[in-house]
Amino acid sequence: MDHHRGADGVRSPPEGSSRPGRSEVRRSPFGEGLSRVPGEGGHPAARRPTLAGVLLALLALLAPLPVSSAPAPEAALVEVVEPTPRRVEENLPFTGTVTSERSASLSPRVSGLVAAVHVDAGDRVEEGQVLLELDDELARLSLERTRAALDEAESRLGETERLREEALTLLNRRTIAKTEADARQAETRVASAAARRLGVLVREEEERLARHRLLAPFSGVISRRDADPGEWVETGTAVLDLVEVERVRLDVQVPQERIEDITLDTPVSVRLDSAPDLEFTGRVRAKVPVTEPGARTFLVRVGVDERPDAMMPGVSGHAVFRLRNREPVVVVPRDAVVRSADGTNTIWVVENHRSEPRAASRSVRLGRTFADVVEVREGLPDDAPVVVRGNEGLQDGRPVRMIESRGEAGAVPPTKEDLES
């Protein structure tokens, strides 16, 4: 009888034949727990799955797949500083204008017609120099008339004095009456008074004549000319502006909140817009203790010992007052502060920095802002390093790897006072 092998390598009888007493084995997906069942056409049965096999198969399907544990977050690289209390230098910048210590609007002391103007805007003049002259012809004639009257009065005085002396001699000889001698004495006194009165008139006329010339009251530069020959000017009408350029100062307006922080000993540096690349050392010359109502600012005048040529009246400039705190304050770099839209300020610190450093956020209250650091008044731990770089994407509890910042928390290096305090 011919046999053939199946796909599983088991011989099977030829088609159409059957052998009693043998059964066909079928593999079940449920495993080995099988029982034989009647086969087709009365042939021996294949194995049926038992209850135990079914349960084992279900447990195998329901068992959770092995889950690999999630990797720990990588330590973030951050740059940190150690916040320490220190006396820091605060810079107060203000803008001002260079003004002269002396400036004047000049006007003639008498009214008259302008005869000559000897200067123009921009001219340098010396004290006592003639700047402008008025037509003085009438004043000269009046002076000559008064001088002539004075000469006449002095001549009369001389004659009365001679007659008085003659009368006194005759009175001693008893050749004239005492009444006549007294009359000669009175005439002398009258003549003397008239001469004195005319002498005063001469000096008055001389002064009036002198006032037809306008002189420079001090050395400086003519900044404005507002008169020409042929114009009539009145007393009190400014015709020239004179500004002293040798002694100048920078005037700045300081808010009332900071005026008490500035003293006459406060260091100050000055920069001029006419020479922006140069910095000059200045000193506080005066604090004007009054202000205009509503201004809320006070005038502070800053002088420069060695005045540069670029420091001219009218030039704008900048004064930076360098204030040093009397008491140490805790400051951190401005980059360490994360500012939120709701107005809160956060600083990231490193906890457990000696064993397992991890990031932690702290809400802080800030104080004054200095050049590149900011004062922290509340919320900062005493011994926790502050993150200044790499704080953008930190989360609380994330491991970090620290490197020290090349800059310190305070912008100013410690002084001898800091080390001793």
pLDDT, tens only, 288-331? 988 777 888 999 999 998 888 888 899 999 999 998 776 788 88
Helix (H) or strand (E) run with residue 242 in it: strand 240-243
> Is a pLDDT exceeding 70 seen at residue 1?
no
Does domain 137-210 correspond to CATH entry 3.40.1000? no
pLDDT, tens only, 96-127? 999 999 999 999 999 999 999 999 999 999 99
> Is a pLDDT exceeding 60 seen at residue 3?
no
Least confident of 155-159, 173-177, 201-205, 309-313: 173-177
> Is a pLDDT exceeding 90 seen at residue 14?
no
| pLDDT > 90 in the chain, percent | 46
For residue 110, give the amino acid letter.
V
| pTM across the whole model | 0.56
Q: Please check whether residue 230 is in contact with residue 135, taking contact to mean a CB–CB distance below 8 angstroms.
A: no
* pLDDT for the residue 67: 46
* pLDDT for the residue 346: 92
Hey, what CATH class is 248-324 in? mainly beta
- Mean pLDDT over 207-222 rounds to 95
Domain 105-134+212-242: CATH architecture, name and number where available: Beta Barrel (2.40)
pLDDT, tens only, 56-111? 666 656 555 454 455 656 888 889 988 878 887 788 899 999 999 999 999 999 99
Distance CA 204, CA 206 (A): 5
Q: Which residues contact 292 (CB under 8 A, 6 or more apart)?
A: none
CB-based burial, 197-220: b 16+ in 10 Å, e otherwise: ebeebbeebeebbebbbbebebbb
pLDDT band at 257 (very low <50, low <70, confident <90, very high): confident
Q: Please check whether residue 270 is in contact with residue 302, taking contact to mean a CB–CB distance below 8 angstroms.
A: yes
> Which CATH number is 78-87+327-420's, of 3.40.50.300, 2.40.420.20, 3.40.50.720, 1.10.150.120?
2.40.420.20
Q: Please check whether residue 179 is in contact with residue 216, taking contact to mean a CB–CB distance below 8 angstroms.
A: no
pLDDT, tens only, 385-400? 999 988 888 889 889 8
* pLDDT for the residue 128: 95
Domain chopping of the chain, boundaries: 78-87+327-420, 105-134+212-242, 137-210, 248-324
Distance CA 155, CA 147 (A): 12
Alpha carbon separation from 121 to 21, 118, 131, 226, 228 (Å, rounded): 140, 11, 11, 9, 12
* pLDDT for the residue 173: 84
Q: Which of 136, 116, 128, 138 is nearest to 227 (CA)?
A: 116
Q: Which two tokens stand for residue 326?
A: 């009397």
Summary mean pLDDT of the chain? 82
pLDDT band at 370 (very low <50, low <70, confident <90, very high): confident
CA dihedral 404, 406, 412, 413 (to 10 degrees): 80
* pLDDT for the residue 235: 92
pLDDT, tens only, 280-297? 999 999 999 887 778 889
